[in-house]
């Protein structure tokens, strides 16, 4: 299995930026990820983060 370039805390940080109102395309450019990767992260992590 391939090791991720991003740690769990980095992924959560990106997702929190999106919640704060930063547009997804801007986040993807800034962090060097595809929109598909971002949406996969959101699908996997939002279910696990307490609200």
CA 46 centroid distance within chain: 10
DSSP codes, 1-51:
-PPPSS-HHHHHHHHHHHHTT--HHHHHHHHT--HHHHHHHHHHHTTTS--
d(CA 8, CA 25): 21
The model's pTM is 0.81
The answer to whether 18 touches 27, Cβ cutoff 8 Å, is yes
pLDDT in tens, 1-51: 677 799 999 999 999 999 999 999 999 999 999 999 999 999 998 766 665
């Amino acid at each position: 299995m391939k090791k991720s370039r991003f740690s769990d805390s980095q992924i959560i940080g990106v997702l929190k930026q999106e919640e704060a109102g930063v547009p997804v395309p801007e986040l993807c450019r800034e962090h060097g990820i595809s929109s598909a990767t971002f949406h996969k992260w959101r699908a996997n992590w939002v279910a696990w983060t307490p609200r």
